[in-house]
Each structure stands twice: as C-alpha cells, then as structure tokens.
Amino acid sequence: MRVSANALQPPIHTWAEQRPQTVTSASALVGQQRALQALQQALTVAGRYAHAYLVTPAGMRVQDVMHELAPRFPWQHADRYDWVYLANPHSANEPCCVNLPVGSAANFVQQLWMFLQTPTEQRAELQQALLGDSPSARLQNYLAEIADKQFADLPGNELATVIVEHEQVPAILLCDRVTEASLFGSIRLQSVEGTISSDLHLIQPGDLLRANGGVLAIDAEELLLQPGLWRKLKYILKTSLFHWPAPGDNLNVAAYYQPEPVPIHIKVLLLGERDIFAQLREIDRDFDNLFPYLADFSEHYSLTQQPLSDYFDYLAYVIGEANVLPLHQLAYPALFKFASRLSDYQSELSLDTIALMQLLREASALAVQQHSHEIQGEHIDQVLLHRKQRDGYIAELSRRAILEHQVYIATDGAVIGQVNGLTVITAGGTEFGEPSRITATVHYGDGDIIDIDRKSELSGNIHTKGVMILSAYIANLFARNEAMSLSATIVFEQSYHEVDGDSASLAELCCLLSALAEAPVQQGLAITGAVDQFGAVQAIGAVNEKIEGHFALCAARGLTGNQGVIMPAANLSQLNLDDPIVAAVAAGQYHIYAVSHVTEALELLTQVEQKDLFERIEARLEELHRSDREQSWWQRWWR
C-alpha cells in the first residue's frame, strides 16, 4: 500500500484550529488521571502501611507537580504539631520532646521562660496559658515535672529549641537531595575546654521531622544511593517512631546525647523510575506492604482518550513556567508536531515539560533577536533546524562515506540477492538512521542458512532470533516434505560493530528469497520491518529516523522518482516526518509503502508477482532435488 503525503504527519493544523480563545487554567497535571486517582486513594487512607510510589518521567518538573497536588489532594488524616525539645529536669543528656498546636512554638518558649522566672505560688495563671485550649499529654507531663523548679534547677545552660514550626513547612515537603542529615537530621557536637558534648541548639531536624503530620516526597534514587538510609526509613515507617542517631557516629567520637524519640505520623511518597519500583518489589519483601499504592505519571497525552482542549491548559502552564513570548496562532502546528514526535505516535502529544520549555525558550530568544513580539512557526522550525545541525556532524560523516563510495550503498538499478535495510546508528551520543547493505548468496547444501554476523560474533541475541525466524518461514514454505538441497549465507556488508534487533529480518528474508528466485531487487527501495514464522510483518522502532536517513542519502544524490521506503503497516500511526519528505512524497519524487506481509514487500522490491517468484524457487529446488536423487550413494558421500 502506497502511503499518501497526508498520512506522514499528525493532523497538526486541525489541532491548532481547536485552540480556545482563552485558557481556563494552567495545569501541570493535565493527562494524569490515572496517577491522580491513585494518589487520591493513598491520601485518604491512614496507617503505617499506606504509602505510595510515584513513577515520575524524566521531563516532569516534580516541584511544580507537588505544589499543585497539595491543595487538590490534602492528606485527610493530617495531625500536625509544632515540636519543641526542652531541658529534662532529670538528665542533661536526654531532652524531652513536646508537641504543641501549630504556630505556637515560639510563643510557648517565651512563656515557659517567664514561667520559670515566676515564683512558684504565682504560676497558676501562667500554667493555664501554657496549657492552652488543647494541651497534649506530653506538655501536661512536662509542666508537672517542672511545677516547682526554677531555670537554675534544670541541668545544662539551655531551656528549649524549636525543632518544627509547621507554618513554615509546605503541605507536601519534597526531599530531592537526600542525605542522612537532610532526611533524618543530625546532632552536632561542640568542644568546650577540651570536652566534647552536645546541647539543645545543636539538634538539627531533617525533612522527616519537618514533614511530620503531613506528606513527605522523597527521591527514590537518591535515597537508595546512600547506604543504610532505606533500611532506616523503613524501620521508622514500621514503628512510627524516630530515634536520633548518636552524635559523632561518623566521626569515631563517643559522646552520649540521646533526645527523646519523636512519634511519627506521616505519609511518604517515593518518586522515581519504574525500574527502581520493580527492584524494590523484588529485593525487599516489606516494600509491597509499606507502599501498596502506585501512582503512574504518564509521559504522553492520548488524544483518543482525552479532549485536546485540556492539552492547551498544559501548554499554558509550560509557557508560563518558561517565561517566553506569547505564541502566534500559526506557531501551534510546529509546536504540536514537535510534541507528537517526542511521543512517537500521531495520536499522542508529549508531556515532557522540560523538553517543551527548552524548545520555547530557544524559539523566544530567536524571536527577540529578530525583533518579533510573538513566537512564530518559523522560529520553532529554525530552532529544530539548528538542533539538527548541532547534532548531525557524525551523521554527515557517515553519509559522506557513502557518497564518496567508501561505503557501498546503491540507490538505483537492480541486483539479485542485495537489499538496502534500514538501521539506526548510535555513535558519539547521537542517533541517526541510515541504509545498510544486506547481501545473500545461495549454494548447493543441506538447507542451512548461515548468518555470517553470528558466526563472526557480531550478532546480538535479538538479531540471531530474527534470522532463525526467517529460516523457519523459508523451511515452512519450501521444505515441508523433504529437506532443501540449497543452503544460503547472509550478512550485513561493511558492518564492523555488533548488529542487534530484529528490524532487519524482513529485509534479510526478501534478500534470501531474491537470491533463491534469482530475481533482481530494486536498489532505490530500502526496507525495514520484523517478520514472524508465517511471514506477517511486525512493527519496529525508530521508523521516522530510518526513513529520514534514507531520504537524506537519496536527496544528496538526487531524487529520481523511483526511490522510497517499505515499512510495516503497523507503524503508520508513528509516522511524523520532516516537511521535505512530505513534499517529495506529494510530488511523486519519493515513495513510502506500508506492507503487512513479506509477499507484499517482495513484489514491490522485485516487480514480480509472488506466484511467479515462488514458482521460480520451487522449480530451482526441484531441479536440485532431482540432481541429488540421480547421484550414486558414494557421490553423495564424498560431495
């Protein structure tokens, strides 16, 4: 099936025409219904075993997402307090922790100082003020302990230190730079006249205590990179109690100072990649119990499941955060094409905030240089062209080697047993597509298909599997009743690195069938696709890059109107090609064909009908079988 120019790109102009006149609200959470539903469930459940893991894509701005989540889904079981450590009347090294109503810690410390300075018989009114409207059991016990004491009766030189004041803590506290001190806090040491000790003001809380009573989001990768932190966090979540580490643990200093443990009532959100989630489930049997909720944030916005209008709310958020010039109406098609290319599907748009912000900032800077008050479509196109020029040096070197005939790739004529496959090259941190010559030869033998790349240990496991599958297809067609008396060899020519993946198996199969049928293959056509044992063509990756690599070579040599690419029909929904390719296809100078079976590809490559091709192969095999049967036993033995 020949693919029309209209099918080579998503309907970007149609999308742009649907832009509303005004955007109702800018939001970073557009398209995240699945994840939001999971978070809503997690934040309505209390208990030690109800935490959540958030799968966060690389391009997401986690800070923005947490900021927007907080008012939308408040933790319904929040039990916030200010926490203060007070001098213990019975031990200078074991200060007491007391919880107070939110926002009252600083005032409480001042009142407590006044309380201790007041004669015992005049403290009744001050004590009532200290207790307030909702005194905690800890506070009542502490005031009872110091009811008849002055400050001079307390050990040490300090009365109190405020550990947590919740008026200064966001509803969801993000800990994205995880160390033992930043997460759990620390107790510092001081040296006074040669004596090493600690004191109240040296107690430094971490984010776990700051978020106590609320929600704490932790970067999972950072957490797991620090030895011992995961086990310590897990113990705290299981016991709901935070014990301070001994001061100087990492300094080989023995100093006894042990503040009273702090009760923990918290909701933890771990943020990270799906691989980390899978590893934690596999290596830690407690993980599933502690983190039963999975909030899976999507990288793509599906237009088949959600209205396009919501995506404009997301773009409004991106544009606002990027702080760029406004977009002209005609700039939206270029932006949509970029967003669709990032997602790899025509019906999906990317939610990669950072990538979109980078594009818009470059385009805005270009617009400012050209004295424009808006970002135009040509500004975005110029930015993408500049990127291609920046990243295309290695691709140009590789293409130049072909143009100078150092690497032989034919783009016209017809050759038996030679096909241009399409590959993606990864080199120097860049990826690009280019054709690769595949050749096959056949000879008298026992039906084996020899993969030279595998024999020379240049074939990956997936490529080897692909060759085995195409061997099974040929055997199923031509060797059901008796073994073939024909063997073949196949190889990627001028390839000196490992070949992997099965996306060349369709090209290899067509190359073998061409050699068997002695049917020349059109060299202007390149081909990509995987096959199964029945010859059905299956989808492959990087289809756009592969087509663009072949087109660039053909364009450099001059388009003849006989060049093009054969691709799997299953990849049609992923086409998102550059404008020059679309224009060439529309003008009939370049062709793209979508196939579902190997016979369709073979007919396009050889310009011979499948029936005639297979008859040629069967006639050749029959002639060899007949010759084989006519040989005497000793001739067959010594052959």
Q: What is the C-alpha separation between 340 and 301, in angstroms, rounded? A: 9
Question: End-to-end CA distance of the chain, in Å?
Answer: 46
Q: Structure tokens of 490?
A: 């196949």
CA angle (455, 457, 463) in 5-degree steps: 85
Coil, strand, or helix at residue 421? strand
Q: Is residue 546 annotated as a catalytic residue, yes or no?
A: yes
Task: Render the burial of 183-214: b for 16+ CB within 10 Å, e for the rest.
Answer: bbbbbebeeeeeeebbbbebbebbbbbbbbbb
Q: Of 546, 596, 611, 632, which one is the catalytic site residue?
A: 546
Q: Which residues contact 372 (CB under 8 A, 6 or more apart)?
A: 325, 379
CA neighbor of 306 nearest in space, from 351, 341, 272, 270: 351
Q: What strand order describes the sheet that includes 215-219?
A: 172-175, 215-219, 267-272, 52-55, 293-296
Q: Can you list the positions of beta strands (E) in 479-634? A: 486-492, 520-522, 525-527, 530-531, 537-538, 563-568, 590-595
Whether 465 is catalytic: no
Question: What six digits make up the tokens of 258?
Answer: 């042990």
Closest CA to 164 of 47, 249, 58, 84: 84
> Among positive and negative, which fits the CA dihedral 259, 265, 267, 270?
positive
CA distance 175 to 502: 43
Run of H or E including 40: helix 33-43
- The two three-digit tokens of residue 551, written as one number: 């087109």
User: Which ranges in 88-228 belong to alpha helices (H)?
Assistant: 105-117, 124-131, 137-145, 180-184, 207-210, 220-225
Catalytic residue among 503, 505, 596, 632: 503
Distance of CA 169 to the CA centre of its chain: 30
Q: Please state, in angstroms and rounded to a whole number, the distance separating the CA atoms of residues 631 and 624.
A: 11
Phi, psi torsion values for 437, nearest 5 degrees: -80, 125
Strands 348-350 and 300-302: antiparallel
Amino acid at 288: D
Structure tokens at 473: 């297809």
Question: Residue 26 carries which side chain, given as an amino acid letter?
Answer: A
Strand partners, 53: 270, 294
Spell out where 172-280 has E strands: 172-175, 185-187, 190-192, 195-197, 203-205, 215-219, 241-242, 262-263, 267-272
Joined tokens for residue 495? 């390839």
Order across the sheet with 91-100: list the strands. Answer: 91-100, 82-88, 160-164
Residues labelled catalytic: 503, 546
